[in-house]
Every structure is written in C-alpha cells, then in structure tokens.
C-alpha cells in the first residue's frame, strides 16, 4: 500500500506542529520520520493514523483519501512508545483483542494469534500476564497485536525508546526482518539517528514541523542539504572561514583548509563541514592515493578508545579544534595525548553551505 501526504498542516492553538508537509511512501517501504523532540514527527504519524485531524492537506492510502476517515477504518496497525498493552489480559488475549473487536470467530482467531506470536518469538508465553514479561517481551506483544490484524500499513512511534541499548539494537533488527518478510508499508518514528540509518529504506529528517530532507540513509548522511541535517545526522566538524582568492583555499583563524575547487574571493565568508571519519593519518592511505589529499599538522588533545574505533580531539591551531575517528586501530598504533601528527583529507568530501 503506497501512502501520499499532500500539503498537510496540523496546528495546536497558535503552534504549527506540522507545516505544509508532502511525502510519497512506496508500497512495502520502510520509511522513517527522524528528528529531535518537538519537531512534529509524532504529530504527523498520528495524523496518518487518524488520531489527529489536520487543518489542511490530504492523506491517501493508495488511491483512497483517508484523512476524513476514522482511525479504525484505515486498516492500520499501530505500535506505541509505551507498549499500551492491557495489564489484566494475558499475552494471548492482548494479541487477540483487535480480532475480537472485529467480531471474528474463535476458530479463526486462534491460528492467527499463534502465528503472530511465533513471528515475534513469543510462542509458549500465551498465558502470561504483562507483569510477568520483560520490556523486550512487552514490545513484542505490542508488535504482534499490530500485525495480527494484517494491516495495510504499520505505524510505529518510538517503539524502542524504553528499552536498554543492547536490546534496542536486537529489537530493531527483528522489526526490520519482520517488515521485510511481510512486505508491509511501514512508517517509523524515532529521534535516534543510528536507529534510522540502520533500518530504513528512506528517511525524512524533520525540524520545527518541516521536512528538511528526504533520502536513502547514505544520502542524508553523506550529502546533507543544509546545516541542520549535517549537524543532526552523526557528528560533524563545522568551520567558518574566509576565502583567500586561491582555488579551494579557505582561512579559518591562522589555519588554511581546502574545500572543493572553487575560487572564493578574499574575505568572502565560507561555512563548511568535514565528517570526523574524513580525516586520515598517512599510514591509512596508500602512497598513490595521497596526491589529491590536503595535509594538515595537528596535535592530539584527547583520545577515547572504544575498541572498534578510536575518537580523537585534534588541535589544528591555537583556537581551531576538530574531531577525528579511526576504525580498527590496534592498541599499539594509538596516538597519545600531546602527540603531533599529520592528518589528510579529501577536499571533495567537504560539505560547503
């Protein structure tokens, strides 16, 4: 089921929570609404679900307009942040609730509930009450309850935010695998950039009720369209300098940096960003690839060893700092605080705004 959102606006009093948003979501796509708290992503999701009535705009499921249709007639499954399971009902009855509400026969309900519980790995726990389950199991109950009605669209609002970090990683993989198996169109809300990048087909980055950028995960990370997206997705070194009149060279304080090959007039303001992983040390780069890279002298101010990667805070000048990330660094190759080193980067990876 494809979804089309056309010029949707939702207000709460004088506050525009969603401002003239238009999106197209493909059939079977895993589409994520990503942004900070208060950016309008949950409001938009609830408008798609039918829990909010937009002041303007239209929402279509396939060719059918649904923004004037009540929520229970839209054919959606909804998974909430707080699970929203019934504490007095068993796992089985929680999952069966939607089917019973649709007046299905008992002999039809049982196989569908059993199938849904097997899909979320809760087989054998049918008779447990919610207070006998872990957080991860409660979330699986909520997912099974949403899937058992065989919805055309699955909507998920921060479904993993109440879980610990390790369980979040495990559960997001399970959710993605279930979605692929069922080929169900899914809209997923999160503020977690890593979560969005890891599971999405496409991402819409939102801020103050507006969609800033829509793209595949690697597109919004590697080619963010503005400063907000560049700063919100991952870690970024931002620099503000002045053109020198020389091709690609920009002065930031007392340091010369290189940006893509455009001559910036002397004194022209230039705002640009370099991802921490763009910085390399010479031994990471084959000799034949170094010719096109720009070289800098730096000093290590801080080292944070995390096993699979090492984070460095670098001093590039008296008042100019940057972050660098290195992966698969052997302990004996770690740089030390106070150590001087040369770093290189490709000017073509610089984002200029």
Looking at the fold, whether 275 and 208 belong to one and the same domain comes out as no
Whether pLDDT at 103 is above 80 = yes
Query: Within 10 Å of residue 328's Cβ, how many Cβ atoms?
Result: 10
Looking at the fold, whether 289 and 275 belong to one and the same domain comes out as yes
Give the phi and the psi of residue 338 in degrees, each rounded to 5. 90, -10
**Which string of DSSP letters, residue by residue, matches 288-316?**
GGSTTSEEEEEEEEEEEE-SSEEEEEEEE
Looking at the fold, whether 218 and 266 belong to one and the same domain comes out as no
Give the pLDDT mean for 113-131.
93
Of 277, 293, 274, nearest to 285 by C-alpha is 293
| CA–CA separation, 14 and 44 (whole Å) | 17
Tell me which residue range forms the domain holding 85.
Answer: 3-232
Instruction: Determine the 3-state secondary structure of 30 from DSSP.
Output: strand
Whether pLDDT at 84 is above 90 = no
Provide the number of structural domains found in the chain. Answer: 2
Per-residue confidence (pLDDT) for residue 81, from 0 to 100? 85
Our separate counts of H helices and E strands in the chain read 8, 19
Looking at the fold, whether 211 and 310 belong to one and the same domain comes out as no
Read off the pTM.
0.90
Looking at the fold, whether 288 and 251 belong to one and the same domain comes out as yes
Looking at the fold, whether 41 and 184 belong to one and the same domain comes out as yes
Residues 6 or more apart in contact with residue 73 via CB below 8 angstroms: 50
Whether pLDDT at 141 is above 90 = yes
Looking at the fold, whether 280 and 204 belong to one and the same domain comes out as no
The predicted-structure confidence for 1-19, as pLDDT tens digits, reads as follows 999 999 999 999 999 999 9
Per-residue confidence (pLDDT) for residue 311, from 0 to 100? 95
Q: Taking each helix axis as running N to C, give the angle between helix 106-119 and helix 91-101, from 0 to 180 degrees, rounded to the nearest 10.
A: 130
CATH of the domain at 308: 2.40.50.140
The predicted-structure confidence for 16-58, as pLDDT tens digits, reads as follows 999 999 999 999 999 999 999 999 999 999 999 999 999 999 9
Whether pLDDT at 261 is above 90 = no
Looking at the fold, whether 346 and 259 belong to one and the same domain comes out as yes
**Which string of DSSP letters, residue by residue, matches 218-277?**
HHHHHS-SSHHHHHHSS--EEEEEEE-SSEEEEEETTEEEEEEEEEPPTT-EEEEEE-GG
């Amino acid at each position: 089921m494809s979804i089309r959102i056309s010029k949707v606006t939702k207000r709460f009093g004088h506050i525009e929570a969603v401002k003239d948003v238009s999106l197209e979501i493909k059939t079977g796509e895993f589409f994520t609404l990503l942004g900070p708290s208060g950016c309008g992503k949950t409001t938009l999701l609830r408008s798609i679900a039918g829990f909010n009535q937009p002041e303007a705009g239209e929402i279509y499921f396939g060719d059918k307009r649904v923004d004037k249709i009540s929520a229970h007639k839209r054919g959606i499954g909804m998974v909430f942040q707080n699970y929203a399971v019934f504490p007095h009902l068993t796992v089985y009855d929680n999952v069966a609730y939607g089917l019973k509400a649709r007046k299905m026969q008992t002999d039809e309900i049982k196989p569908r509930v059993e199938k849904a519980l097997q899909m979320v790995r809760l087989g054998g726990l049918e008779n447990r009450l919610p207070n006998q389950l872990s957080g991860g199991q409660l979330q699986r109950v909520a997912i099974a309850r949403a899937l058992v009605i065989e919805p055309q669209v699955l909507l998920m609002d921060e479904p993993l935010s109440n879980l610990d970090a390790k369980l979040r990683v495990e559960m997001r993989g399970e959710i993605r695998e279930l979605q692929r198996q069922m080929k169900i169109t899914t809209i997923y809300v999160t503020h977690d950039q890593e979560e969005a990048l890891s599971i999405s087909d496409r991402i819409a980055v939102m801020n103050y009720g507006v969609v800033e950028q829509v793209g595949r995960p690697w597109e919004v990370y590697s080619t963010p369209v503005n400063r907000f997206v560049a700063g919100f997705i991952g870690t970024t070194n931002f620099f503000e300098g002045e053109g020198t009149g020389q091709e690609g060279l920009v002065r930031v304080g007392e340091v010369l940096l290189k940006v893509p090959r455009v001559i910036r007039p002397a004194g022209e303001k230039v705002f640009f960003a370099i991802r921490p992983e763009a910085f390399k040390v010479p031994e990471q780069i084959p000799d034949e690839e170094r010719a096109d890279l720009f070289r800098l002298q730096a000093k290590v101010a801080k080292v944070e060893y995390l096993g699979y990667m090492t984070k460095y805070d670098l001093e590039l000048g008296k008042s100019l700092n940057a972050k660098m990330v290195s992966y698969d660094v052997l302990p004996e190759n770690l740089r030390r605080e106070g150590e001087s080193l040369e770093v290189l980067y490709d000017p073509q990876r610089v984002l200029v705004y």
